[in-house]
Amino acid sequence: MNFAAFALTMRGSVPLALLCALALTLGDRRDVLELGDEEFEYLAAEHETLLVMFHAPWCGHCKKLAPDFAKAASRLKGSVQLAKVDCTANPDTCKGFGASAYPLLKVFRNGVDAGSYTGPRTADGIVQYMRTQTGPDSVPLRTEEDLQAFVNNYDPSIVGFFPPGSTGLPEFLKAAAQLREQFRFAHSVEPDLGGPHSLDPPLGGPQTLQQHVVLFRPPRLSSRFEEGSVLFTDPVSVAALRRFIRDSLYGLCPHLTRENKERLRVRDLLTVYYDLDYRRNPTGSKYWRNRVMKVASRYSPRGLSFAVANKHDFLSELEEDFGLGMSEATELPVVTIKTRLGHKFTMREEFTRDGSSLERFLDDYFSGLLKRFIKSQTVPEINNSPVKVLVAESFEEVVNQPGKDVLVQFFSPRCPHCKKLTPVYTELAEQLYLDPNLIVAEMDATANDVPLGYDVQGFPTIYFAPVGKKDQPIRYEGTREVRDILKFLKRESRRPLVLNGVREEL
């Protein structure tokens, strides 16, 4: 029975909302192919390009990925098939492809393992990445219609125009093969196709096809404040093309997404967040971006980069990392700056449509008048226990004392390994409590900003900030036992420790 017939049968006994939810669930199941040990080999071979998620029902990361995987499957229907294998029910297939940690994503071409999926794990990221896995490395273009259809895309396009027999074309194709997972490539050797996008011809001379490469920005990001394409005319090589794309790709004010945020945030970056959605609301999305670009065109030469973003994609970050209450509905954009050093600033004045409030915010930023935003718990009024409590507001004052060595544990209250370490760390602090030159401290890294220089990717993480080298903290990598941490401190400290009131010998 199909869903329509089922709905008619159940009408009146099942709420409409429940039927719609069921329809969505059934649709997701049809879009994501479920494969098992018996049929994997022959069903996988039926698809030119297949993305398979090897998962386990109990895996929390698998459950988190599942909705995005299903959305991507729906959007890729007809071009790329997505499938999943339950490794608890189909151990032979999973073992054969090395699936021991979940979820494992692999790309298959005509049933042959083409390697692990290395793209983002969001619906948009999966769609974008998998579209690069289909078709040739660089699409051949023969007509102006081909060209316009290719560049009229949501993402940027890199197109090479070459005379027949050009020595640059092989290098261009080599670059496309290496970079296709990140960018879209096309090429043409048609003599009449590249002319309008090349350099101006000599005065009075004919328009001839020259070897050149053009980066076309997406039409959705077109603006009167910058050109829609960028021309590259240097000798073609993989390295030169890579640099050209890196320097030209984003333009004056790119669209920051969860997929490109790491590449954009290597610079001092001002980001304007609002209800940006080029698919559902292109007019509103362009309206605010144009106002940002008008200001950016004046201030970007001073070393600050600009971007716009969908605030819903970064909601938790805005609330937790910038202290912005985003639960209140507002159509006005919010603005933040985050520098390469991790310094954060927020614009508290309401965003004005003429851009004047943004200009005032930037003037204060460049004048050094803005106060940095620091996510911090309250500084404790009483802090006399053997393990000193640090918060972001007090970190520099305590840890960077010139005459004190400081041992810091960064922890999460929800981390079971941190809870297991607590009695060990407390015993260590008690033994060193009477040492006048050493502080044993801890900081909740989920409720406070971690200072620059401390790389905290997991919990617990322990660092030692010795006298004279506060800017070069030393990470503790040993076992989590009192005796081993003491050996580490004796090795790294320039002064003898005082254990239980007794000074040790160096």
| SS3 at position 501 | coil
With beta carbons less than 8 A apart as the criterion, state whether 185 and 176 touch: yes
Q: What angle do CA 183, 188, 191 make, to 5 degrees?
A: 150
| Residue position matching structure tokens 């050093």 | 341
Instruction: Look at residues 342, 345, 363 and name the one whose alpha carbon lies nearest to residue 334.
Output: 345
Helix axes 282-299, 356-366, angle to 10 degrees: 40
| Residue position matching structure tokens 């909601």 | 315
| SS3 at position 363 | helix
With beta carbons less than 8 A apart as the criterion, state whether 370 and 364 touch: yes
Residue burial 393-405, b: 16+ Cβ < 10 Å; e: rest: ebbeebbeeeebb
Instruction: Look at residues 245, 239, 238 and name the one whose alpha carbon lies nearest to residue 170.
Output: 238
With beta carbons less than 8 A apart as the criterion, state whether 238 and 178 touch: yes
Report the residue count for the chain. 506
Q: How far apart are CA 397 and CA 454, in angstroms?
A: 16
Q: What residues are annotated to the active site?
A: 59, 62, 415, 418
Handedness of CA 229, 233, 237, 242 (dihedral sign): negative
Helices (H) and strands (E) in the chain, counts: 16, 22
